[in-house]
Structure 1
């Protein structure tokens, strides 16, 4: 009998494993937490059990095993040279660089991003949400704990490459799942760059992205949307959700004055005023213009277009109104906004 956990049970199992990786000071315990979380995600990828999900599971397993091996190797090298397995005492430069790259590999950052679009293409919406949001929390926290000022070059290099790959990969991409994958890669790049500026900014960027991408994934799952062509019929199926999807896409793009623009604006300001990295800030801003292109296309298609139809075609949102559809959207928005208030006030 194959064990395939429900989404709620998977989240309940992921919570303690992620917490183990977050609170551990020893590399072995953190590594165990990452591996247990990976195994639970593998079980989630197996539901429903199809050829496509099996392929996604194998690709996810191989990529995560390679990244885990790199983490264990880096921790062992550091322990050999420094005599400690303490995460906060990782001082060997080669070990820190290798660990950052391996954790970026686990998150799907470029140039180790090759597995993410293919895995998400064969996954359910629940699995996509877990991989693009929850599974990034522990690696991000570990990078918080080990990176030093001397390694900002590594973070910025991986970050710029991720934002560029995410922006270029999503252009002319007809598959919604792959578009979400490249969107995740782009956001991961911004998060890595923000770590070198301020950890609070990186945390804020992650929270905003989790809120916005959960709205888009919820609508995609509710209306069973797979391609951008099917996104055209969103207005006919649910007018309110079409407008919400358009707003979420615009906010994710970072267009002012939406919530997605706030952390990017703050990071750009810090890069120029405090770190005197005008070139880096300019490059990130120009790349953001590319991402703006496909996000605006998503919002335009979802709220301002409709497929070909006759005058007597029934409009579904008039005959089947489900008021409770927006409850998860409103709840996540309210919770995230409340959590962001201290960070915004501190700035």
Structure 2
């Protein structure tokens, strides 16, 4: 309800209230384990989100002083627009305002991690789309490029899986913002695909459990099925064809190449995507083709009984079939 309030409202105060309610609910989820790590993550999340909310409210007040309007689409003052873009970028964790996301996810439980990396990005993205005008084209383009670049370089040498997921989320945010400038439907589809993929990955990471990159080497000895499903889902998140993550990115590059002034930009994000592809392929290789050394004294069973949730293969199958929607996206 809080996210819906922020999305459907035309009044800035109602949208701001929706963002605040959503933040408080997420804060309760982060604090639920009552551990020092979760308390630290909750404090960091509260400080960053409160700062962003205060900045957004200040932008709205400044715009009201100049134009007398509270309507979201009537944000015309340049200072207010700049403050609102910075605020919403901080809320969704887009670069260069993504500094809080890895640390918060590192101390958050699974439900809060899924919410922060997926659902909490919907309302700020929708508000950013509502205030976006053609003159802000290059501002959002720079934020998108920085997010894709920061997501790739941040994750490539990251041993902690939660932090790697955080940088993956930053990378996905960059692609979503890039798509939003070209086609709203395409941006929505990319967000839904990413929600499906990252939720599946986080669930399997929790079941294994896999908190570090080294712990992924124990995946294949414990469960071949889980190892295969996680490998396929990771490849899909990387955007490797013909998986789900590839279709929206391919259409985005096609649309950018149609606009000749964006050819250089399309080439740049294609090269940046190779960095992201590198660490995703490394994850897939570790989870499916490597196993930690087992000595005669090792207590881990070679083939323990597998417990696979019934809906997990269904979610994973979507990572290979979404490319069938490509003709509809190109239409």
Which TM class, normalised by the smaller chain length? over 0.9
User: Which string of whole-angstrom CA distances, capped at 9 and with x for unpartnered residues, describes residues 96-150 of structure 1?
Assistant: 2321221111011111111100101111111110100010011111112110111
Change (3 A) 1:317 1:311: closer
The higher relative CO (CA closer than 8 Å, separation ≥ 6) is in 2
Check the 8 A contact 1:204/1:343 in 2, yes or no: no
Comparing 274-283 and 66-75, the one that deviates more: 274-283
State whether structure 2 residue 199 is matched by structure 1 residue 214.
yes
Query: How many angstroms apart in 1 are the aligned matches of 2:198 and 2:8?
Result: 26
Q: Gapped runs of 5+ residues in structure 1? A: 1-15
- After superposition, the C-alpha distances for 1:146-178 in whole angstroms (9 at most, x for unaligned) are 101111111111110111111111111100000
Within a 5 Å distance, the mapping from 1:192-341 to structure 2 comes to 192-274=177-259, 276-310=261-295, 318-323=303-308, 325-331=309-315, 341=325
RMSD of aligned alpha carbons = 2.2
Q: Which of 137, 140, 154 is 2:122 aligned to?
A: 137
1:19-58 equivalences under 5 Å are 19-58=4-43
Does 2:64 match 1:61?
no
Which residue number corresponds to residue 124 of structure 1? 109
304-313 or 118-127: bigger deviation? 304-313
Equivalent pairs, count: 330
Secondary structure class of the residue paired with 2:34: coil
Q: CA deviation at 1:329?
A: 4.9
Shift of 1:343: 8.8
Distance across 2 between alignment mates of 1:310 and 1:257: 39
Q: How far did residue 195 of structure 1 move?
A: 1.2
**Equivalent residue for 1:98?**
83
Q: Which runs of 5+ in 2 are unaligned?
A: none
Distance in 2 between the 1:63 and 1:130 partners? 16
